Structure 1
Amino acid sequence: MSTTGPSVSDEEIIARTRRWLEHAVIGLNLCPFAKAVHVRGQVRYVVSHARDPEELLATLHAELEHLADTPPERTDTTLLIHPEVLNDFLDFNDFLEIADAAVTALDLDGFLQVASFHPDFQFAGTAPDDITNATNRAPYPILHLLREDSIERAVAAIPDAADIFEKNMETLEQLGPAGWADLQKLIFGNK
């Protein structure tokens, strides 16, 4: 349900992404680690106007370096939103190898990592309309830059962290396609 185009401002893209974070990721408790950094204002939202993977890679490099050079108290994680490139999920999925190589090229392995969200995210072996794919669906393609030590601390603080994936699947199955569609209306400001 990605809505892009010249009429959508960066501010609206960020607002939709923030509503997705608040109502889907935090609201459905898909990531129990997200609330703390959101409440403390430690999430950096960056809208890239890249129109091809090479431009996006340059932006990714800059954002990885920025996150590495910024104290976690100020920015713990970055959401690199790129509505104009890699809208095809398979192309996006292929780009993730390039993103991982960028982390390595910058000598940030073990320090930073890249997670991913996409409007058409699909787990291997699932149908496109399988509701469980929604655990990784966002209003726009997003490269999520994370600090490894923050992940380790968060996982250590949650006794059942290994069960998050299964709980997320159950949550989305209980919500169902109609509930997810209602949530999308809220995220896109249609409700």
Structure 2
Amino acid sequence: MVNWALRFVLGIQYLVISGGVAAWYFSKYDCDRNKQELDSPISTSFFNAVKFHMGTAAFGAFVLTVMDVVRVIMQFFFRSEKVKCIFKCCCNNVEECLQFLSKNAYIETDTLLICFCEDKIINDGLSKPYYMSRDLMKFVENSKKIYGIKDQPTTGSLQKTTAVSVVSSAEIFYIT
């Protein structure tokens, strides 16, 4: 239980730091905001992590804790020291990979949404097409409503839809 709690707190820490850094870094692209006018990005990121991403941190901590439990149980059943050493080496490698993947998953969880929202604000879809599918654009729009990110007014929603469908057709064309 202590192992899970420690990993959970570390997961929340990664989410908070990555969210604060992403909010600060991507604020330079928005012409209306100034970096000095950011309203406490770390505390905002903490509240977003607790409100929206707590399950991600809990699941990541659970996966890593299960790996530890399996390692302890399997070491108990092995009699030979050589087999224990080989198994311990393999488990350590798998655990390092899982920790690396979970750490990057925490960072991308908080950062990726901000990237898509800022890209949608910068790119109006008229000069160049969006590189998102329709479903992803709907997800970004809903997420922007949740996070309270305001969109710049655009001139033609019909042109946006056309640009998205052209990109989707092009992606299908290249895949087949």
Quick check: TM above 0.5?
Answer: no
Structure label with greater radius of gyration: 2
Q: More strand by proportion, 1 or 2?
A: 1
Q: More helix by proportion, 1 or 2?
A: 2
- TM-score, normalization by structure 1: 0.23
- TM-score, normalization by structure 2: 0.24
